[in-house]
C-alpha cells in the first residue's frame, strides 16, 4: 500500500493496481474528524461510503464499491478500469487513483509476469495483454512469436511489488482444427482460450409442468379417455472435455476455468461472434505429479426445452 500524510491524517491507500475481489482498504490514522466519506467513482458511476472514526482511526474496505463499478453484462470487454477515490471530512480531502482488475490474487501468486500462450491458429483467438492502460485483447498476426506486455509492476508476494520494465507473452502455435473451443476469464482477469478434445456426452431428461388429460379419439371413432401427456420435458446435457498432455504451466492456467463464472463456447468457428455461455459441472479435479498430463472436466450446456403443451 501507498502512504501519505496531509491535513486529514496519515493515509494508507491501495497501490497503482488493485484486484476487485481482494480486500481493498483505505486507512486513515491520526484523524481528528468524527467520520469520513469515501467516494468511489469511475467517472460514470459513483458510490459514497460514510465510515465512523474510532480513537482517531478510520478504516474503509472499498472492494464492494469497486466491484459494482464493473458492467457484468459486458465483463468480457471490461476487465479493468481506472477508479478514483476521494476521502473527505467535509473540510479537508485527499484523492487518489488506481487501476482495478476484475480478479483476485492469492498469496504466492504472480501477476503479469512472462508467460506462454497456446495460440490455436484455426480459431478466432485473441491474446490478453496487461499494460499501463489496463487490459487489451490483441489479434496475433502471421509470423509473430510474441508480444511485449509493458507492465506497471510485476505483482508477486515473493518480491514486494517488484518493478518490471516489461513482460513477454510468447506464442506457441497449434494448428489443430477439430474440438470444443472455450474462452473464460481467469482469476487475474486475463481472457483465456483453449481447444478441448470432446469426450462422452450425457443427456438427462426431466419432467416439467403438469400431467394433462387428453380425451382423444382415433379415425374410427374409438375414444381413449383419461390418457395423460406430460406438459413438457427438458434435458440437461453434460459434455466431457480434455486437454491432453499439457505442461505444468498450461495445467495451472487451465485450472482457472474451474472457478470462473464467465465461460463461453464458440458454436461456429467461422463466426467469431457466435459465443454462448456454459457452466462447469460440479466435480473434483485431481492433479498428479507427472510432467505432462491430461486436464479433464465436464461442462453443462444450456438446457433444451423444445416443446410445451
- Taking the domains of the chain in order of start, what are their residue ranges? 2-101, 105-176, 178-309
In a 10 Å sphere around its CB, with 0-12 CB exposed, 13-18 middle and 19+ buried, how is residue 126 labelled? middle
Most confident of 116-130, 218-232, 285-299: 116-130
**What's the pLDDT band for 158 if we cut at 50, 70, 90?**
very low
Q: Answer yes or no: is pLDDT of 265 > 50.
A: yes
The predicted-structure confidence for 12-46, as pLDDT tens digits, reads as follows: 999 888 999 999 999 999 998 999 999 999 999 99
Report, as an integer, the average pLDDT of 280-300: 82
Structure letter (DSSP) for residue 44: S
The CATH number for 178-309, chosen from 1.10.4160, 2.30.110, 2.60.40, 1.10.10, is 2.30.110
Q: How far apart are CA 33 and CA 88, in angstroms?
A: 10
Task: Just give the CATH number of 2-101.
Answer: 2.60.40.10
Three-state secondary structure call for residue 77:
helix
Q: Answer yes or no: is pLDDT of 151 > 70.
A: no
Q: Do domains 2-101 and 178-309 have the same CATH topology?
A: no
- Indicate the pTM of the whole model: 0.85
At 157 the pLDDT is 47
Three-state secondary structure call for residue 252:
helix
Three-state secondary structure call for residue 219:
coil
Q: Which three cell numbers stand for residue 69?
A: 463499478
Element (H, E) at 68: helix 63-68
Q: How far apart are CA 203 and CA 145, in angstroms?
A: 41
Whether the CB-CB separation of 223 and 217 falls below 8 Å is answered with yes
Contacts of 61 (CB under 8 A, 6+ apart): 23, 24, 25
Determine how β-strand 35-41 pairs with β-strand 80-88.
antiparallel
Amino acid at each position: 500500500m501507498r502512504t501519505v500524510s496531509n491535513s486529514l491524517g496519515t493515509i494508507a491507500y491501495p497501490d497503482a493496481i488493485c484486484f476487485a475481489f481482494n480486500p481493498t482498504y483505505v486507512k486513515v490514522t491520526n484523524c481528528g474528524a468524527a467520520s469520513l466519506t469515501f467516494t468511489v467513482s469511475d467517472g460514470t458511476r459513483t458510490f459514497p461510503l460514510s465510515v465512523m472514526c474510532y480513537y482517531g482511526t478510520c478504516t474503509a474496505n472499498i472492494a464492494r464499491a469497486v466491484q459494482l463499478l464493473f458492467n457484468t453484462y459486458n465483463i468480457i470487454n471490461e476487465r479493468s478500469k481506472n477508479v478514483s477515490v476521494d476521502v473527505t471530512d467535509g473540510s479537508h480531502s485527499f484523492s487518489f487513483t488506481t487501476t482495478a482488475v476484475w480478479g483476485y490474487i492469492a498469496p504466492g501468486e504472480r501477476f503479469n509476469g512472462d508467460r506462454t500462450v497456446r495460440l490455436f491458429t484455426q480459431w478466432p483467438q485473441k491474446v490478453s495483454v496487461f499494460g499501463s492502460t489496463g487490459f487489451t485483447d490483441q489479434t496475433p498476426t502471421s509470423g509473430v512469436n510474441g508480444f511485449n506486455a509493458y507492465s506497471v509492476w510485476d505483482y508477486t508476494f515473493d518480491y514486494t511489488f517488484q518493478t518490471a520494465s516489461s513482460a513477454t507473452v510468447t506464442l506457441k502455435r497449434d494448428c489443430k482444427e477439430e474440438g470444443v473451443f472455450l474462452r473464460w476469464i481467469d482469476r487475474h482477469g486475463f481472457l483465456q482460450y483453449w481447444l478441448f478434445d470432446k469426450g462422452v456426452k450425457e443427456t438427462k431428461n426431466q419432467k416439467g409442468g403438469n400431467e394433462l388429460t387428453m380425451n382423444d379419439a382415433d379415425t374410427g371413432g374409438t375414444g381413449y379417455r383419461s390418457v395423460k401427456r406430460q406438459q413438457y420435458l427438458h434435458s440437461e446435457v453434460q459434455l466431457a472435455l480434455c486437454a491432453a498432455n499439457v505442461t505444468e504451466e498450461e495445467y495451472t492456467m487451465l485450472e482457472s476455468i474451474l472457478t470462473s463464472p464467465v465461460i463461453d463456447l464458440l458454436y461456429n468457428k467461422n463466426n467469431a461472434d457466435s459465443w454462448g455461455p456454459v457452466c462447469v459441472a460440479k466435480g473434483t479435479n485431481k492433479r498428479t505429479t507427472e510432467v505432462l498430463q491430461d486436464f479433464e472436466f465436464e461442462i453443462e450446456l444450456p438446457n433444451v426445452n423444445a416443446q410445451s403443451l
